[in-house]
Structure 1
Amino acid sequence: MSAGRISWSGRFVIENMAPELTTTPEDFTEEQLMLEDAARQFVEGELLPNDANLEALNYELTVSLMRKAGELGLLGADVPEQYGGLGLDKVSTTLLAESMARASSFALSVGAHVGIGTLPIVFYGTEEQKNRYLPELASGAKIAAYCLTEPSSGSDALGARSTARLSPDGKSYILNGSKLYITNAGFADLFIVYAKVDGKQFTAFIVERGTPGLSVGPEESKMGIKGSSTCPLYFEEMEVPVSNVLGEIGKGHLIAFHILNIGRFKLGAGCLGSAKETIQLSAAYANTRQQFGRPISSYPLIAAKLADMNICAYMLESMVYRIAGWMDERLASIGENRAAKAIGEYALECSIVKVFASEALDAIVDEGVQIHGGYGYIKEYKVERLYRDSRINRIFEGTNEINRLLIPGMLLKKAAKGELPLLEKAKELQAEVMGAAAAPSFDAPLDKELYLVSQAKKVFLLVGGLAVQKYGLRLEEEQEVLCVLADLMICIFAMESGLLRAKKALGSKEAALKEAALKELEKRAAEERTTLASLMVETFVQETVDKVHGLAKTALVALERGDGLQLQLSILRKLLRAPATDIISRKRKIAAKVIETEHYVR
């Protein structure tokens, strides 16, 4: 991070970042890889042999295995060491979340416990609350759940109707109301519950199982994630000690929003793990399944699906660890005691990765089923479960529609606060596009992609500037235009994340090749990795820039009329003018590597 930098959040739409400042999976340390290996061994040794029983929602088995995970330190990664945890960096905890994804519903149970269940106490608990609860949460002796959604308030979380009133003796709050779709509710020992004090002040409470007045409803019968517990909760004159208020009275919204940010980001990591598993299953099946006398992987249309799946996963992986790296940088500058603030500063990017990840995984598992053909519809093939389990991700942690509205909204708020020179950049662009521009030349690897990503940022400024100019404060009512702006930002962040990662790899390769002692085999491996990364980025940028053009055109037609529209469309064409990329040949090369290795390649 450059000197004086406050936060990278939102700046990706107006600034170009140096590749060496990006955190990538190629930067993983030995310790991080050991953590990944420990999680893999636990999944393969303890969880997969019990997969059928876990998927049947066996409470006792789930809890016992969660305790085993706690004994191995897999539940305490985000808990500070002084409270019995490991206190790991965010890149490490992200890698852990990704690695656990193969455990299907069990991974969701763990994710809800270590993330939205435990972190509210890590970030907002008093010293007494941390000492009382965190050691047992880190060890798995107690399991946590997060209780925000209500029958009448899903996306409108602050519209909750659960109430709390102070008891006459002032020693407790008396809660009444209900919560819906609570993960881990069937066996959780601790609940983070939100209610409005005196019906007005939105507040968080720590509620222990067995509290009089608390009752847990029956398990929901779900489409997917069947091995996770999902129940409603009911509160009837439930007394919670004043000492169990989490944070401040009336400040529960701060906890809820920060925890939602974390949930969105960790959801992205989980989707990444599931995407990689789907690629592995699909490539192996395509190599085994014979049709017309040859494996279906040898047919270009099947191979192209595997290439698309791998490219999408590569971009998601680049996004996830880029954000994790930013979080670690910010934590290093402001300290762990302000961790919630550090993570909250990247709320915009958390929403971006949540939308991209959930939709990318849906596309990947859909193609996985298609590659499996009729077998993909049969329960004994895991791709069928992956397909069902994936669908909830577009609803979890705020629907994708809500997140799309939040993304440009948060950017405009940053601009209004003076944190981003957004409108100034839009005005500069207006002067720039009216002048003559020389045709660019592309000499070095990925130069064209670097240019196109930079131009896509100008397209966003063009559309966004016109939208603000036309609607002003009424822009928040124009949801279709906001959606276009959000999708443009998602496209830009995805393209740039993959591009920066590949550029960084190219730089590392060039440095490595200068090392005379580097073995020939290592040289070839480095060359292959960087070539593959470049092919994926070139393909993704070409296809995504085409999408950017379509999105921008949709918005411009809504924003302008007549000669003004024709002028803006001509500017759009000029901004994205560049030689086309042959994506068919590139996808064939990418697919060949996936088919050869039978797993995700990077």
Structure 2
Amino acid sequence: MSSSIRTVFREDHEQFRQQVRRFVEREIVPHLRDWEAAGIVPRDLWRKAGENGLLCVTVPEEYGGAGGDFGHSAVLIEELARVNATAVGFTTHSEIVAPYIVAYGTEEQKRRWLPKMASGECIGVIAMSEPGVGSDLRGMRTTAKLEGDEYVVNGQKTFITNGGNADLVITATKLDPAAKELTLICVETDRPGFSKGRLLEKIGLKGQDTAELFFDNVRVPVTNRLGAENEGFKYLTHQLAWERTIIGIRAAASIEAMLEETLQYVRARQVFGKTVFDFQNTKFKLAECKAQATMLRVFVDDCLGKAMRGELTAEVGAMCKLLGSEIQGKVLDELLQLHGGYGFMSEYTVSRAWVDARVARIYGGTNEIMKEIIARSL
């Protein structure tokens, strides 16, 4: 569905889309394959994005952001997904990390970190996952022991998006190892005792620097605590509905882009003296994909509208993530199949999109967890 017939966006959103699209085509698309080979996006891109007002778009202007809304966020998410540039980690930085600081940070913390995040000078990450600890956040083992006016942080985090480039880490910790309550501590990566492990090799999102992070008696002032002690789990869950909706937004945009690419391919590809599109099976498969894409688009836009009005619930966010990622996996598999052997070649965007989409059913809480959340309302 063309963005011109979608009602969730205003004129200023579509104007922003043109700005984002120009930047993506100029600064990102020509370099994606190189970044995938390197396993990391250069910091120079982050600074360029900051100069163009593409980072932290919902952060208030007084803290260096653009003062936009979730519609502006969705535009950026969609434009990156359209060219399969999900590995560029702007979304985690701008839509997950920065909002935590806006929502729970002190005035001093906001002025210290947000302007640098908006400019691309400081890259922020959220560190929750640990080795052996998946979706059960209360089972984490990273600790923060209070000593005078400092916390001493010890532990290990893994699967951290933007971990290689990270400058500021919102770290989920426990003040009492035996307790379930979590406390969020902001750790600058230049502090003694903090270290980054190797960049993790993944089957998809290869250009995204995913890393392990280590905390060995890292001393952090009490003023770096984000929000109140033992309230971290509540803070994390408050933000999850939007984080999961992001995955649905990305899925819908990816499906639409890959459907268009596949249509172009099957109309040009000749088999047995006619185009692949001329076969009835091809038309039927594409019809099914179009129907699925249209249905998902309507639902995702409804979820986005709820987010923009402040009406998004945990249940709806979970449904958006569940349906978006499941439909994305199925539709992209069909579209890859229509490319035949070329669909297995990484030079075709559909092959990389298909691989990259697999993690959508895992991160943001596995889809099994999404079903648990939805089931609570039955």
Report the TM-score, using the length of structure 2 for normalisation.
0.94
Does the 8 A contact of 2:159 with 2:211 survive in 1?
yes
Q: Name the SS for the 2:198 alignment partner.
A: coil
Out of 50, 53, 60, which is 1:73 matched to? 53
Q: Which residue of 2 aligns with 1:429?
A: none
Does the 8 A contact of 1:101 with 1:107 survive in 2?
no
Count of residues in Structure 1 that have an aligned counterpart in Structure 2: 372
Counterpart residue type for residue 184 of structure 1: N
Whole-Å separation in 2 of the counterparts to 1:261 and 1:208:
27
Structure richer in strand, relative to its length? 2
Whole-Å separation in 1 of the counterparts to 2:137 and 2:65:
30
Q: Which residue of 2 aligns with 1:90?
A: 70
Whole-Å separation in 2 of the counterparts to 1:67 and 1:305:
43
Q: Name the SS for the 1:118 alignment partner.
A: helix
Whole-Å separation in 1 of the counterparts to 2:46 and 2:250:
17
Q: Which residue of 2 aligns with 1:334?
A: none
1:116–1:44 distance in 2 versus 1, CA, 3 Å: same
Q: Which residue of 2 aligns with 1:350?
A: 317
Note the C-alpha offset of 1:182.
Answer: 0.3
Q: Which residue of 2 aligns with 1:560?
A: none
Q: Which residue of 2 aligns with 1:248?
A: 228
Out of 258, 261, 270, which is 1:278 matched to? 258
Out of 24, 28, 52, which is 2:9 matched to? 28
Counterpart residue type for residue 210 of structure 2: T
Runs of 4+ more than 4 Å apart: 105-108
Q: Which residue of 2 aligns with 1:155?
A: 135
Q: Which residue of 1 aligns with 2:120?
A: 140
Does the 8 A contact of 2:73 with 2:95 survive in 1?
no
1:55 aligns with 2:36: yes
Does the 8 A contact of 2:87 with 2:207 survive in 1?
no
- Show CA shifts across 1:437-480 (max 9, x none): xxxxxxxxxxxxxxxxxxxxxxxxxxx5xxxxxxxxxxxxxxxx
Out of 144, 153, 161, which is 1:175 matched to? 153
Q: Name the SS for the 2:219 alignment partner.
A: strand
Note the C-alpha offset of 1:105.
Answer: 4.6
Q: Which residue of 2 aligns with 1:366?
A: 333
Counterpart residue type for residue 162 of structure 2: N
- Show CA shifts across 1:97-120 (max 9, x none): 112213535554111111222221
Q: Name the SS for the 2:14 alignment partner.
A: helix
Counterpart residue type for residue 46 of structure 1: E
Q: Name the SS for the 1:312 alignment partner.
A: helix
Structure richer in helix, relative to its length? 1
Counterpart residue type for residue 155 of structure 1: S
Whole-Å separation in 2 of the counterparts to 1:239 and 1:103:
42
Whole-Å separation in 2 of the counterparts to 1:262 and 1:42:
25
1:398–1:106 distance in 2 versus 1, CA, 3 Å: closer
Counterpart residue type for residue 224 of structure 1: G
- Show CA shifts across 1:168-217 (max 9, x none): xx211001111110010001111110000122341001111111111111
Which is greater in Rg? 1
Does the 8 A contact of 1:105 with 1:226 survive in 2?
no
Give the unaligned 5+ runs of structure 1. Answer: 1-23, 331-341, 412-463, 465-602
Q: Which residue of 2 aligns with 1:189?
A: 167
CA RMSD of aligned residues (A): 1.6
Q: Name the SS for the 1:239 alignment partner.
A: strand
Whole-Å separation in 2 of the counterparts to 1:182 and 1:235:
14
1:177–1:257 distance in 2 versus 1, CA, 3 Å: same
Note the C-alpha offset of 1:27.
Answer: 4.6
1:117 aligns with 2:97: yes
Counterpart residue type for residue 112 of structure 2: R
Whole-Å separation in 2 of the counterparts to 1:202 and 1:275:
37
Whole-Å separation in 2 of the counterparts to 1:108 and 1:356:
23
- Show CA shifts across 1:290-316 (max 9, x none): 112111111121112222222222222
Q: Name the SS for the 1:192 alignment partner.
A: strand
Does the 8 A contact of 1:98 with 1:273 survive in 2?
yes
Counterpart residue type for residue 23 of structure 2: F
Does the 8 A contact of 2:241 with 2:316 survive in 1?
no
Give the unaligned 5+ runs of structure 2. Answer: none
Q: Which residue of 2 aligns with 1:260?
A: 240
Counterpart residue type for residue 272 of structure 2: F
Counterpart residue type for residue 365 of structure 2: G
Does the 8 A contact of 2:56 with 2:93 survive in 1?
no
Q: Name the SS for the 2:203 alignment partner.
A: coil
Report the TM-score, using the length of structure 1 for normalisation.
0.60
Whole-Å separation in 1 of the counterparts to 2:186 and 2:107:
14
